[in-house]
Structure 1
Amino acid sequence: MTTLSCGIDFGTSNSSIAIDSKGKISLVPVENASVTIPSAIFFQQRDNKALYGRKAISLFLNREPGRFMRSLKRVLGTSLMNQGTLVNGASMNFTTIISAFLSQLKEKADGAAGQEINSVVMGRPVHFVDNDSAADARAQAELTLIAQRVGFKHIEFQFEPIAAAFAHEAQLTGEKLAIVADLGGGTSDFTVIRLSNKFIHKPDRSSDILANTGVRIGGNDFDKDLSLAAIMPELGYRSTYGEKGLEVPLKPYQDLSEWSKVNFLYTPKLIMQMKQLLYQSHDKTRFSRLLKVLQDETGHTLLAAAEGTKIALTDNQMHEAALDFIDEGFFIPIGRGQFDEAIREEVEKISASAQQCIQEAGISTKAIELVILTGGSTEVHSVQAEFKRLFPNAAIADENKLSSVGLGLAYDSRNKFN
């Protein structure tokens, strides 16, 4: 029996798996016909059955009783991995939760291959956690343990931007000096690399990789920035209360704007505190909306409205965020300029990381011949504009934004295991 290998792109927002079977690299359909799946999981309340991806999101948005989670990758390397979380009233650790998500990806790949796959190259960001090498190493060790738990015996890792480069390399003619910008939901990673279709089968590519940099900023941070700038003020964010005109606590709003923290807000203690503040609020209409979101546990729906606005503003100058689940007929008009301003500092940090990569490679921006954009966050208008500004003379490659990392990891698995 032929030894097969695969590559898994476990993303903050979306995931994929690709296999190397009989010399052919291909993505595996992981949710119906789709080769990508949102990194989301929903545990039904009635039987604790886990459902994944678009189905999980649909059940949650339709108010099916249960526990919904997204952005699981951001938990790796943090204290939350050990703390775990409540799932339908019972404690569950994140190793179990992430294992459940990755196990169903492996099952799809095993089924497509017609045999069990034992070897995998897992994608990883340049930094799971910024400026914390111990947490970064811990995150990779946790992901290794999870890969073993779901049944892989041989496990290697590759930086996600390098994997994206491998996927594009197969289509090249001639040699190119490229920078890969991989902007996902949780991180933005960059690699300067020499590419050629003649290099594809080289087992060691270290001499072709000139530099890697990364920063823990991605599409989820854009959602948060947009939410805090345009949506949360309509829920009383930065309003005041009491005789002294104190500002209301900001943390509930900040946590409601972050996918990985929303579920921790629905506590009797916090709701009681917000009720007490409502009594003293100077803007009861707006602040009462915050209390309603907490009581109805619609934080993910609120954040989904921010994400939907971000996506809509890719092609439109204006979008109305529908918040009628809070108040009937409640819509907030949001313009692209407002969004661009909300994420301006994040885009500047992303740009600085890309420029640092160029500097560490010892080249100039003019030397870059190809810019490979991958990851859903590269769709954002101001992000695209920034990379065109940084590299005005380079060709832009942005096809297969959501699947190129998975493909590239499978190409790398061929070189590592076969």
Structure 2
Amino acid sequence: MTTLSCGIDFGTSNTSVAIANGGEISLVPVENASVTIPSAIFFQRSNNKAFYGRTAVNLFFDRQEGRFMRSLKRVLGTSLMKQGTLVNGASMNFSSIITAFLKHVKDKADAVAGQEIEHVVMGRPVHFVDNDPDADVRAQAELQLIAQRIGFKYIDFQFEPIAAAFAHEAQLSGEKLAIVADLGGGTSDFTVIKLSNKNINKSDRASDILANTGVRVGGNDFDKELSLAAIMPEIGYRSTYGEKNLEVPLKPFYDLAEWSKVNFLYTPKIIMQVRQLLHQSHDKTRYKRLLKVLEDETGHTLLAAAEGAKIALSDQDEYKTLLDFIEDDFYVPIKRTLFEASIEGEVEKISASARQCLQEAGVKAEAIELVILTGGSTEVHSVQVEFKRLFPNAAIADENKLSSVGLGLAYDSENKFGKRATVLAN
């Protein structure tokens, strides 16, 4: 009997799942016809019912009452997993929240399969948490426990860039020395690997995988840096107050610029502090905007505006970011040059990790024949320019940016749990 298995790419920004069934691998429509679902959840205030993906995002931005969360993956391995958070007045731990989201995704896969799937390969970044091996081990253990809770009995893990390589390998003719750059919302991961369509059914690929590196930098960090550089100054960031011309506290602005921390700002204590400082502010017009964001709980809307600007500036030289939820007809013009300057340090960290991967693999950049770009953050103009500079002799493959990891994980699950597989064209 053929063993049914799947691969789940639980991403910081988006999630996908693909099924391996008797030699066929295909992506699952996880939200209507889409094969990706935003990694977001919204708990409705009236009954605490959970909604997921685009539905969750739309309910939140339609100003429905409830608790909205995204970028949940970044909590794994951190102290926040133990602390938990308030959801509509009740305490809830993040393990339960992530479990609810991934159970929703598994239910979609089970429905397509017509049975409960018990075998899974879960994707994971090379490092969940930078420079903290204990937190890294803890994060995988937390994700494994969640996989067990939602019904998987046989669980394995694979690095996400390796999975992306597997997804592209079946389309190759001949052999290629490749580097995979998987730039997601929370991490950037790299693998130098020897690819060949003759190797797609090898159960042991250790000799083909030359090196893996990763850094906890991704699209969410681009959102943060752009927000701090272009948007936060318009709501009082780095303004001053009082007779001594002191700088206003920066922590609320930094937390407003991180998806996983926004909800922690809506407390009476923080709002009272901002109100008190407003009376002494030297820029009451701008600092009052911060108070309005906190009182109206529109921090996610503010950060979504930064994300929208980031996406627009990938192919535009200037973009007007509309912030009319703060004031009527209020917008902030942002130039691409400012965006690229704000993320220059983050792009260098990504580039350094790629170079480190080459060094650990013992190969020169000129020897790389194929660069596989996956993850939404590879759309950023300065990122593409950097990779073309690093690998001038390589072909660039960037199809299926948001789903190649899920496909590759399913392929890996077939090799680990099932029989011979061929990847179906999608």
Q: Which residue of 1 aligns with 2:170?
A: 170
Q: Which residue of 2 aligns with 1:2?
A: 2
Structure 1 Cα separation of the partners of residues 316 and 245 of structure 2: 39
Q: Which residue of 1 aligns with 2:64?
A: 64
Q: Which residue of 1 aligns with 2:145?
A: 145
Q: Which residue of 2 aligns with 1:278?
A: 278
Which digits, 9 at most, give the CA deviation of each residue in 1:236-284, with x for residues without a partner?
1000000000000000000000000000000000000000100000000
Q: How far apart are residue 363 of structure 1 and its match?
A: 0.7
Q: How far apart are residue 314 of structure 1 and its match?
A: 1.1
Structure 1 Cα separation of the partners of residues 22 and 412 of structure 2: 15
Structure 2 Cα separation of the partners of residues 177 and 169 of structure 1: 11
What is the aligned-residue RMSD (CA, Å)? 0.5
Q: How far apart are residue 315 of structure 1 and its match?
A: 1.5
Q: Which residue of 1 aligns with 2:210?
A: 210
Structure 1 Cα separation of the partners of residues 132 and 413 of structure 2: 28
Structure 1 Cα separation of the partners of residues 123 and 47 of structure 2: 32
Structure 2 Cα separation of the partners of residues 356 and 31 of structure 1: 38
Verify: 1:367 aligned to 2:383, yes or no.
Answer: no
Letter in 2 for 1:297: E
Q: Which residue of 2 aligns with 1:16?
A: 16
Runs of 4+ in structure 1 deviating by more than 3 angstroms, as ranges, are none
Verify: 1:416 aligned to 2:401, yes or no.
Answer: no
On the 8 A contact 2:123/2:157 being kept in 1, the answer is yes
Q: Which residue of 2 aligns with 1:265?
A: 265
Structure 2, unmatched stretches of 5+, are 419-426
Q: How far apart are residue 22 of structure 1 and its match?
A: 2.3
Structure 2 Cα separation of the partners of residues 160 and 81 of structure 1: 22
Structure 2 Cα separation of the partners of residues 170 and 53 of structure 1: 30
Structure 2 Cα separation of the partners of residues 152 and 213 of structure 1: 28
Q: Which residue of 2 aligns with 1:109?
A: 109
Could you state the TM-score of these two structures normalised by the residue count of structure 2? 0.98
- Ranked by relative contact order (alpha carbons within 8 Å, sequence separation 6 or more), the top structure is 2
On the 8 A contact 2:118/2:153 being kept in 1, the answer is yes
Structure 1 Cα separation of the partners of residues 335 and 199 of structure 2: 45
Paired residues for 1:10-89 under 5 Å? 10-89=10-89
Which digits, 9 at most, give the CA deviation of each residue in 1:166-223, with x for residues without a partner?
0000100000000000000000000000000100000000000000000000000000
Structure 1 Cα separation of the partners of residues 57 and 16 of structure 2: 17
Paired residues for 1:5-404 under 5 Å? 5-404=5-404
Q: How far apart are residue 109 of structure 1 and its match?
A: 0.5
Q: Which residue of 2 aligns with 1:407?
A: 407
Query: SS of the residue aligned with 1:280?
Result: coil
Structure 2 Cα separation of the partners of residues 209 and 233 of structure 1: 45
Aligned pair count?
Answer: 418
Which digits, 9 at most, give the CA deviation of each residue in 1:59-89, with x for residues without a partner?
0001000000000000000000011100000
Which digits, 9 at most, give the CA deviation of each residue in 1:362-395, with x for residues without a partner?
0100110000000000000000000000001100
Query: SS of the residue aligned with 1:41?
Result: strand
On the 8 A contact 2:187/2:215 being kept in 1, the answer is yes
Q: How far apart are residue 3 of structure 1 and its match?
A: 1.9
